[in-house]
Structure 1
Amino acid sequence: MAHQFDPTMLREYDIRGIIGETLGADDARAIGRTFGSMLVRALAEEDASETAPTVAVGYDGRVSSPMLEHALVEGLNSSGCNALRIGMGATPMLYYAEASRKEIQGGIQITGSHNPPNYNGFKMVFQGRPFFGANIQKLGELAARGDWTSGAGEITALDILGEYVERMLEGLIDIPVEALSGIRVGWDAGNGAAGPALEALAARLPGEHHLLFTEVDGHFPNHHPDPTVEANLADLRALVAEKNLDFGVAFDGDGDRIGAIDGEGRVIWGDQLLMIYAEDVLTSQDSKHRGATIIADVKASGALFDRVAELGGKPLMWKTGHSLIKSKMKETSSPLAGEMSGHVFFADSYYGFDDALYAGIRLIAASARLGKSVTELRSAMPAMLNTPEMRFQVDEARKFPAMAEVMERLTTQPGPEVESVNATDGVRVNTADGWWLLRASNTQDVLVARAESDTDAGLARLIAQIDEQLALSGLERGESVGH
């Protein structure tokens, strides 16, 4: 029987909905059956083998996740796919299972990421590649037609936690233990799915480690698990100050996005973390990646792109979205990429997927290899004045047309202050004062704006230019909304 999804569920990078309103067991079953059918057909085109494809399935700590996992597995099995259940854990554990085993052809993680507790969703990998955009739309079309394969797949289980922790520890393998023994770090799992892996990892790490909120609780009783919102770092900041720690690391609800603070409690934003990682990757003594391409999204500071060039790398500005960044990394053989949102991707000696626990390990490694504390590395960065990410509601049917109007004006009558316009993702406008960005979100009915300057007056002028462009399209920058 065909299945129709609520249209708000099928997003650019993943599938997401509200439990009991737009997402339930029938949706999960249809996702499993359709994804499985697409995989069966793709493999049949490549190979006449009769072996059923295997899809790894994991889930986060939300209350609704076990129910969705059960239905998803049923759907996969009915398409003819085998399901390999890896159980509750961080999204990177699912990515690791898929990337490290040739017998696995796909992966699905059930997760609501950093959304409120009543949300949930699905992040997918298809034959080693991110499954997003047109693939998600095709999944919706096939389900609406009931265009499925049929079969009777099997279910097996795999406990991958220990192996995953061992693999992460390889991020420190070339660093002498004495260089790590004095390190003192605070970690905040935010009651998200990364908690058990963090406990197992911290028990194996040299140095001293203090852990917050590792108990998985889908109600998130201590604070919301979005480490890019400064208010959510308050507990970690208090811990670092109380224990006089070197730095602190926080995770989102499913462990694929990192947040960090230095020993003085200053936030180290996503682009600033990338500056530290880039210095490590591009300049380490035995680095095979001198001169490599380092990718960051259009929201990143100009200081990052300048720093990558200064270190001898090739800075590349790309579209926002973890699936888009991963695809660009493969295309350019980039060893490192990142986003302002805290997704960081290492492909130098790791798999190229976003893993916040591994990014935490690599922050320890970078500090040791570069011979500087994280606080010193943060202090050395140029002081830029920038806005937070401003997100404001614009009707879904209006957001892309409005952006087209802005682009048209900047192309035909840019004004004397505009030096150049980068249209990689929305518009990033360079002026003598700095730069401003305006882009349409691919996942919500919002426009996103950001600006950066080296003076307060310059920043005010940049924001005024954003407001002017919005006004010309009959819009205004209202109160900022969350992710």
Structure 2
Amino acid sequence: MSHTFDPTVLREYDIRGIIGETLGPDDARAIGRGFGTLLRRAEEAEGASSPPKVAVGYDGRVSSPMLEHALVEGLAASGCDVVKVGMGATPMLYYAEASAEDVKGGIQITGSHNPPNYNGFKMVFQGRPFFGADIQTLGTMAAAGDWADGAGEVTLRDIMREYVERMLEGLAGIDESKLSGLKVGWDAGNGAAGPALEALAARLPGEHHLLFTEVDGHFPNHHPDPTVEENLADLRSLVAEKSLDFGVAFDGDGDRIGAIDGEGRVIWGDQLLMIYAEDVLKTHQGQTIIADVKASRALFDHVAKHGGKPLMWKTGHSLIKSKMKETGSPLAGEMSGHVFFADTYYGFDDALYAGVRLLAASARLGKSVTELRSAIPDMLNTPEMRFQVDEVRKFPAMAEIKERLTTNPGDGVEEVNTTDGVRVNTADGWWLLRASNTQDVLVARAESDTQEGLDRLIAQIDEQLQLSGLERGESVGH
């Protein structure tokens, strides 16, 4: 037996495809066989004698139960025991893996914030993210039929109550009187976080108003991507209508957070991280706080001002998690709304827990979320500009641009950071150009104190693209 995956499905950070076109039950079964085989071999090499356990969860998409059934078959046929945790947010699956000593791997079936006809898999292997070369190995093994055989047991485990209890620990040590007056809006976007959000909000102090907690894989109210401002319109209306202190929104599988303050202003990913960093650094002075290369300079300055060591790192939740482990960082985040707490939590991206920690930060810092948002300097920045570049051209083009800027940066360039693409500092501010690891696009962003400065930075991006025979065309979606 062997299996061949569609070439577009095995990606850098996860496995993702279109149901009935590039992804189906046979792929899910092969993923189970490959992942299960790798886990068995790794555990046996460490002297384990009993079959390893793998937790499996899934999101609210129509195709998810079908893929779960096939994935579980594949894992069990490779000799792994499977713990089914049912439908829920991706972080609930991460929790099932991180909190149970007997669970050695985890797989969540989720299409995240993609359209309803997409689905995919996010994986954890012996406590670390499973991505990049790991995912490519699954393809090689499937093509060769290089799979172990066995007959694992399948059990069910209901962890929702336990997961909610654990999230509530994010408010430990805070005087309840500081929380009881809070009024908060929450938008689950008909995604998989809905049931956990209902259970969590029922236990939180204060007044809580919930939107779209019913799981519906067709997403009838709005697309579940909280980093796109138009998707926050319902939450903004709720906050205004009920005079709430702030609002929190989730993506389709609950691992990315979006937020607005009491005045309806968006609190972007890097701005949220500024609030969290100020709170965390009160008890973690001198520690490293990580953000991706798209984040505002204001964030890195803010971390340094509050006694932390700012570290700019590559975009991608798996890459950030790996860097956190390496540096012992208590907090990290991305512009895309992934936030990772490892101070008193597990270091995985959990938007529900991040919502709890926003309540906690406001209480501990003694300021409303609106006051905290108002204290953030107003920078002029572009949205993330994403434009199509042929798959075979995007990395070579970035290599040419990097070469030019590092050998002959030109007038006005103060620093060129090549952590992930190029991030160029000038007196006007900074601009970024990088190749997406998940799509055939280049991503650009720029930030300045003035409109004139921003225009000059964008002109520099255009000049570099032109020198490589490219142009910044229409921006494309995620």
What TM-score do you get using the length of structure 2 for normalisation? 1.00
Between the aligned partners of 2:407 and 2:99, the Cα distance in structure 1 is 50
Between the aligned partners of 1:377 and 1:179, the Cα distance in structure 2 is 16
Between the aligned partners of 2:94 and 2:336, the Cα distance in structure 1 is 19
Between the aligned partners of 2:105 and 2:462, the Cα distance in structure 1 is 44
Equivalences for 1:340-351 in 2 at 5 Å? 340-351=335-346
Between the aligned partners of 2:234 and 2:183, the Cα distance in structure 1 is 16
Amino acid at match of 1:404: A
Between the aligned partners of 1:173 and 1:420, the Cα distance in structure 2 is 43
The CA deviation at 1:176 is 1.0
Say yes or no: does 1:445 pair with 2:453. Answer: no
Amino acid at match of 1:115: N
Q: Deviations over 1:320-341 (max 9, x none)?
A: 0000000000000000000000
Between the aligned partners of 1:327 and 1:462, the Cα distance in structure 2 is 32
Amino acid at match of 1:24: G
Equivalences for 1:311-390 in 2 at 5 Å? 311-390=306-385
Match of 1:456 in 2: 451
Match of 2:474 in 1: 479
Say yes or no: does 1:396 pair with 2:395. Answer: no
Say yes or no: does 1:178 pair with 2:177. Answer: yes
The CA deviation at 1:156 is 0.1
Equivalences for 1:185-204 in 2 at 5 Å? 185-204=184-203
Between the aligned partners of 1:142 and 1:358, the Cα distance in structure 2 is 36
The CA deviation at 1:411 is 1.6
Match of 2:422 in 1: 427
Deviates more, 1:152-161 or 1:405-414: 405-414
Report SS of the residue matched to 2:281.
helix
Q: Deviations over 1:346-371 (max 9, x none)?
A: 00000000000000000000000000
Between the aligned partners of 1:411 and 1:353, the Cα distance in structure 2 is 35
The CA deviation at 1:479 is 1.0
Match of 1:87 in 2: 86
Between the aligned partners of 1:443 and 1:430, the Cα distance in structure 2 is 26
Match of 2:222 in 1: 223
Between the aligned partners of 2:125 and 2:353, the Cα distance in structure 1 is 22
Between the aligned partners of 2:327 and 2:457, the Cα distance in structure 1 is 32
- Tell me the number of residue pairs that the alignment of Structure 1 and Structure 2 aligns: 478
Between the aligned partners of 1:225 and 1:94, the Cα distance in structure 2 is 19
Say yes or no: does 1:413 pair with 2:412. Answer: no
Report SS of the residue matched to 2:51.
coil
Match of 2:464 in 1: 469
Runs of 4+ in 1 over 4 A off after TM superposition: none
Say yes or no: does 1:122 pair with 2:126. Answer: no
Report SS of the residue matched to 1:226.
coil
Between the aligned partners of 1:408 and 1:178, the Cα distance in structure 2 is 57
Match of 2:14 in 1: 14
Between the aligned partners of 2:254 and 2:42, the Cα distance in structure 1 is 30
Between the aligned partners of 1:313 and 1:414, the Cα distance in structure 2 is 30
Equivalences for 1:225-240 in 2 at 5 Å? 225-240=224-239
Between the aligned partners of 1:50 and 1:161, the Cα distance in structure 2 is 30
Q: CA RMSD in A?
A: 0.5
The CA deviation at 1:50 is 2.6
Between the aligned partners of 2:415 and 2:153, the Cα distance in structure 1 is 56
Between the aligned partners of 1:125 and 1:269, the Cα distance in structure 2 is 27
Match of 1:167 in 2: 166
Amino acid at match of 2:211: L
Extract unaligned runs of 5+ from structure 1: none
Match of 2:244 in 1: 245
Between the aligned partners of 1:364 and 1:323, the Cα distance in structure 2 is 26
The CA deviation at 1:44 is 1.1
- Seq. identity, %: 84
Match of 2:32 in 1: 32
Report SS of the residue matched to 1:468.
helix
Between the aligned partners of 2:149 and 2:302, the Cα distance in structure 1 is 53
Say yes or no: does 1:303 pair with 2:298. Answer: yes
Report SS of the residue matched to 1:105.
strand
Report SS of the residue matched to 1:280.
helix
What TM-score do you get using the length of structure 1 for normalisation? 0.99
